[in-house]
Structure 1
């Protein structure tokens, strides 16, 4: 859902299916345990957010999850990781089928995350930013005991402000670099990205988390880009002023979150690299996937405890990953 404009700038199409699943069902989709399926791909940073939030809030038993494979063609993400290449709940191979069920010949890009209404087989929403906020605010009746407050009411204005800058300058900024269609567009995108990373370095040099003294939605949104920075964005997207490992504050912050239950245990580095290097043939026509970088450093001490903060506030960490949802051992750091 993106294109390069005549000036060479990368533009992301943000016209999503915006129906919401709410506690009162005002859009026609009430929160109901077992009714919906969250469709994701571990490779995708936008989907990785939803995986993390679902796990932190303990929604595994009320909102099922389907994993697409890391690669796709121009038609759709596919369930090629499942036996027979078919999602066991939705009964489809192409995620596009759920989009077409909602809007015949769906004219836009088929994206993840998407939430599908299982009884009808139709996509309800692919509005990735709203999905995680609604998991925090509309699904509260089904949160686990000790679930953290990822979007606390008193901090929402600040979270929204920080998250918006992270989205435009960092989450989308790396894509603006990678898909720039001209030197001028790339140079401007590069400067914007690293200006934002310098701002984050200054902010996180003084506090453990982005907003307040606990993990919030803002941290989730930044983490998924940082986790992909050295494996793909530094080289593949030419975001190469510095590696993450060469930015001491951000590297320590990323390791702190990675080592927090619910974050690093959702990251599949093998799928991440496969997606970017194989799918983006306009950038990498050989489809060769690099062997590096070395990932052991993710598990080294980060020292961020010295800044204080309580990761889960008055809550508790999530328990072990639900069986069948684990990242394969060979795909993780360490």
Structure 2
């Protein structure tokens, strides 16, 4: 069996089994959780390469929370010590930054400050509480829900409802299916350490992409005519798909460009005001191709593919 990229997250049959997020406290608008949604209190640590962190970057941008919640971009190249702060690394458009709060060298220092017994893989995004000096949450799906709903009193765009009450019942099962087979499915394919584990992940991935393409044939967004968190959760995987997952993760049955509706949907979301500036393919490609040495031991970053995400999408 080939070596796994993350041996602690691989089972005996070579399947990638993602670790459970360790920090799950919640920020609430009324402060009933002990973490009130106050401007200036919280800080996001993100990687522009990571699709899970990218979700939080997008929601912060769309809700207009830039002045209320600080954000620091880490180096896209992760070494054996994890995500690091290396000013100037990354790209010209989005250079990585020094940690402005503590002067840390590695994000792992925030994990051990929050829990001295933490021994798992350090992940992004991280929502940090500057008053208590600890991580509030490192689960991306929960962080984006908090950004979407709890910070309206300090948001510049509080009227944007990305988590509408009348769609939540339908959104939950759809998010679960997309997470299992698409968002995490590309990783289960790419990090598989056996042929069986790979095929077990990659075939359902394309079955669900086929379903989503059909779903988008008669609606602009996943849940109708409104942009929601479900679309943002899917977008961050789709925008990386042809550039990284097709080749690097062997998800090459079809490209997103080959889908009649998913391809236009991807361009539509990319062209939504505020989203395109959050996408940085230099961060994305360098992270995947230079970091995953069990998959790409040479560290060579491909030049292509050419992606025209500004082309007309026809989904108005």
TM bucket by the smaller chain? over 0.9
Contact 1:67–1:81 at 8 Å: present in 2 too? no
Distance 1:42 1:85, change over 3 A: closer
Shift in Å, 1:145: 4.0
Counterpart check, 1:300 vs 2:314 = no
* Correspondence for 1:58 among 56, 64, 67: 64
1:231 corresponding residue in structure 2: 243
Whether 1:130 aligns to 2:142 is yes
CA distances 1:18-70 after superposition (whole Å, capped 9, x unpaired): 01111233332211110111110000000000000011101110001111010
Structure 1 residue 86: Cα displacement: 2.8
Q: Contact 1:205/1:249 (CA < 8 Å) preserved in 2?
A: yes
Partners of 1:298 and 1:8 lie apart in 2 by 35
Residue of structure 2 in register with 1:321 after alignment:
none
Residues 1:166 and 2:172 are matched in the alignment: no
Q: Is the 8 A contact 2:48 2:284 kept in 1?
A: yes
User: What is the deviation of 1:168?
Assistant: 0.5
Q: Which residue of 2 aligns with 1:269?
A: 281
Partners of 1:120 and 1:268 in 2: CA distance:
32
Q: What residue ranges of structure 1 are gaps of 5+ in the alignment?
A: 306-334
Q: Deviation at 1:120? A: 4.3
Structure 2 equivalent of residue 182 of structure 1: 194
Listed as ranges, the gaps of 5+ residues in structure 2 are 1-5, 89-94
Scaled by the length of structure 1, what TM-score is found? 0.87
Find 2:80's aligned residue among 48, 64, 74: 74
CA–CA distance in 1 between the matches of 2:96 and 2:153?
A: 36
RMSD: 1.7
Match of 1:104 in 2: 116
* Residue 125 (structure 1) shift: 1.1
Q: Secondary structure at the match of 1:272?
A: helix
TM-score (norm 2): 0.92
The answer to whether structure 1 residue 10 and structure 2 residue 16 are counterparts is yes
Change (3 A) 1:214 1:85: closer
Local SS of the residue matching 1:39 = strand
- Equivalence for 2:256: 244
- Secondary structure (helix, strand or coil) at the match of 1:25 reads coil
- Contact 1:56-1:147 at 8 Å conserved across structures: no
